[in-house]
Chain A
């Protein structure tokens, strides 16, 4: 009956059913009822239109993608319908005038876009400057009443609030059972860009975990620093930079990092 309703039957079967419906009032009634139902549901079911910012998000991520892999491969052997997850990139032939120009133009445009969203490549002097900024942000947050912008221990409150204000969405770990309760979230500004600050407690101390998107060339080996009585711990994954700043001892920070990574890497 559904095939007939949808007009998807072959002409012979179609004809047979049509004939039957003319002869059999019960079936005809059942058919009409079914058709009414389908019509009502079709009209009534909500159609979800994409929010405007999704359009922009996608355009941005496509441009970031081409900044990472400037020349897309020619997938001559791509499987029929399902996309392949893994791609190899070919590099454009170098030393030739035209393709080099085109590539350079593309990379320049992509780089301008990318520079707006990724931190600059690091040099040792930059790291020291960044450390100064981090400590300043941490210390400032501990002064008069500006520890959090969204004071909630519920990651499902903090995360959407941060996601709405920033152009990235870091995962938040729930660690109160491990001795690191979430105090809340805050916006901050570091390394020339807005960043997320997650505030965790540790006994009577606070840890500021600063998170922002990682550039492709950022160092991935964890590093520690100790300055002015504060401990700083840095690590990065494929998406984000993490800097944990606190006056708790470095072992506690390492433990925090481990537990944070353990939870968020599950996603």
Chain B
């Protein structure tokens, strides 16, 4: 630490004066682990994750209700009934929870002085955002897929008692389940982007709520065929179009994937501009 009263300025400077530059991969790994620690060391994370089993129970309830109405359906109604998607409505709760998770990953810092402290450790703001996006993406994808599979199995267990259950091998079933899990990741990342731009937990949550529910409702008021076409570009509809089970859909599954990734790209690009241009 001290050498003859003269302080050697930085631990990164070797005795011969060369500086030890850690590799980019090493730097990013440290940032990702730090972000993971941040999430794990806050109670709000656990409160949020505690809500995640709710949609699974809700999925079972919705399946029970759908199975009851199936018995009253005519033959044509029964042929249009898709048991693999019937529990999916419950996953909208999961979307909201994971969007809130994405929002909190940034607003828990930007609404306290923590972001300033973080930036004195990590002055490269885009790297910080990248690390946050990696953690939010992986966590929300994992939580989303687990929730999606759980909702599927619970609702098929319910349908199974009426003899109308399907398996993952049934047409569109696996695509439906994987698509919903993928959409959860999209929601987490869009939440992160919107939270970075708006710097307010409540404001960002309202924006996400609007994207999921208000905007689609308004677009449904447009005259045909625009209601369906523009409607396909909304977050919930693009997510519904992922498995490709809706006949005559304007947007094919690949298109739906691109639309959802477009939301992520747009949200994170806006976040990148916001975090680099604005002072914390």
Q: Do A and B bind? A: no
Binding site for B on A (CB under 8 A): none
Binding site for A on B (CB under 8 A): none
